[in-house]
Structure 1
């Protein structure tokens, strides 16, 4: 057993975390110390939902006698009241005595009520929460206990309905370094952006205290107290900048805006807070996967992320300013930027979007840099307007495709191989991103409580596609690409992404296998999905040695190949359950269909294996069929 204590100054409550105790350890059989006293209001207490426990101080508060315990704690300890009443606390329950000795002694000495919140953990997973009030009355202590079981992860139908817009709003929070909360009935609901600001993930007790104010540095505590004393029906808003220090030691400046609602009696009904990280170095400490993604946008001159482009609160990544060739400090965001767009119909659609007549634009446009007719850039622009809660938001992407368009014009006059590149460039811009977008939508539903899983999966896929793009741009034959070269490089990429898991990647690829770009693209994604499935499920023991994922691709005949992927992990309990309920299996099936292949699960004494049979050449899907598969 391990105990940690922390006092929440703002809430005036002591929090205690208790790790790894079992119910059989709660109470011990010991002789009775004294006869139990008659309990006041005994019949009334029976009808109270909370546990009412009566404790009698002895030895000047150094020990206590158990006079009554409530039904819940007796049930958890699997004992009867007669087994514990009249016993010394230190002898009957040494575990609870260690937890409560000092709080009981404090209340006995001061005669002031004390509040506590106890978190019980098993293997670092919270199992239950107990809210406790210790009350002194006529020389005795009364302990009122309310138990809360582990909260369900189920969400309401309304929350599921709003999932898409909520995820977009979350993305905006991440990239703009903002977050908010809503407090009602003394419980807090925090948006994901808050955790990006404070550099940590969500914890089970975050609903019970202000996780921002708890990090305020001592010098700014008076500002928080000023806030708590200021909010009233006459002054229902508050704005200031406070400083916090995150758990990992980073000092941050937080722009704080708070708003409260009150009823006709002046009692607070609800409370809303908006926080923005305005630290000068707020983007320098990359501590989360989303920060890694933002850093990628900031260093990409061809791709830019547009946060709130239809609002004065806009924030654009650095690529935008490189495309328009105006320093960010000199740029003034207004409709004037539309004047440099050559295509009149694109300008008209953007005006309609700004005025709220349409909700989306997806255009390819020609942009005159600084109005110069001789400095033209071809760009792909996507902007979407959406509602989330009571607020309207917008988000978009701007991509410089000038070099792609120039390549297309050059390749039109070239041979058949180069025409394939034109088609592949189009597919990379459209179909591959469409497939990734479909995967992302599926995984947001399947892994809604594990966003880091989604980011890890997408990072692996994007890394494989980046490898594919890099190699195809440096080759001249797009019908006969050596598969072994690609998979060896992919092994190095995957090993770099998942090096912390100490997994060996082995490959045996026939060096004579040459495939077209249309076959290699989905095949690499299949390798990603099966590899990530093994990484996630095959090795639950992080200390397991010789963890291996083995790949083998060889000819069956001159027109057909066999791909086998095996791991030496724990294996599958039920192949049928994988086939019927596994998102990764659905994704692999869709990709396998794209290459006219078939997939089966291999029987194995140890670990899990998959076999895919596919033709070297297949009938390529049309754009409409590709969209249906995705």
Structure 2
């Protein structure tokens, strides 16, 4: 279902068009809520040729109580007055309530009079038309409607004698030229119109445009243009359109429509219609229509017929979809070239328009409607050629915006893969060099304890392997979340090291702390060294309870973070002596690589270090 509203300026009436609304949406049986007195003049109301509906305002117009509905409406929805009265309009007919509430409230509050035309369609065919007047009187809202069903039986042909009152009517009987008048929404059709559309008069013909109702879909935009022009100002409109009669005969007709006011200020529309099928070689008979029809469903490819001719051009729908304008809004001129980004392309296009070159085939960028923030990349091909004594042109316009974006993404993706490969080789080489340096140092220091050397090296290798695995899976070297790395590192350290005592790890990291791989690599190795030192020296008494190593990393500002790592062991008796051992030398070297500052801090028990370090370092691969 679809509902459209439009104010018809010249007639000063609101037209409400309702498409494909099922009957159940108009009438929903509901229990009576309010007692309603017997309606005065109910017999009269039931026997007049119009529908009169009466409503009582409820809660200051928030809703309306149905006092009565007209007989036409009751019959339409197969119900009685007893089924309708005493119900709220919002419950009995939610659809009508939504459509009418603002009109009813305005009439109730301001005692104005509203004119509304309801036009009902089913599958784009007119099925019913109602002209309604809404007014307020006797503390009630009255809606007076004149209803017409367009599906009623046809009138029979009238004897020819009735049309031969004078010579002009006799000529009209055989003419393929007709006219009509539209006064107050009611049409009067001449016999020539019926000759054109190949059918007799019908009762509903007074209430809708029987010619425009037959216009083929491809020409519907021309009808919209006629109505738009003649509705909004006193005007004249001349067009050529195609209609398909009920007996499936295609006709080409010339339409001239005039809108003007009579002496009393009443708006009158007059239409003159001429069947020119035999005399007019319309595009429907040309191969160009078949070409355009083949492109009608394409949104990315447009066929351009005579693109260099400002008056006789024809473009497929893809063109208007690409420039994001309706057919009626588009004015074909060189102004569209102002939206082309590439200046050299504009020069070549102007040369093509001036006949200096005969062909253009290139990719251009288009600012849609002049908006540089809404750009499309298009392939444009236009070729001009001579046929007999005239110059013609043909072209294609293809929207390749998405394809270009995918191509750029693919290029960027390939470049990123190359960077990743270089980064992997670079990281592996650097880390092996670091481990090799540590191994040489420990070989000299712990030459009598090879098991310790292997244990230390295992821990470092495991930390670096963990870092490589997680980082390369994410393929992101610039935003590594530290928390999950440290939790995994704690678990790996417990599994690898032969702990002489039961030690508990506690780790706290700011959730939003993301580090680059340049920072996290030496940081993990520093934590490894300090953790191994604590395990070896902090807990000589194996029976002591609650042994802990605690790591706390917090973000100080956008560029700096702090690590506090401490244990609750026996502490360091001679800090000067411990600062010269191998573990501390390795930590100092890694801290220098990190660009940080490490210090031993005083604590009541155990040992604690503070490391201040940057959260970002320059990326090694650009």
Shorter-chain TM band: 0.3 to 0.5
Higher CA-based Rg: 2
Q: TM-score, normalised by structure 1?
A: 0.33
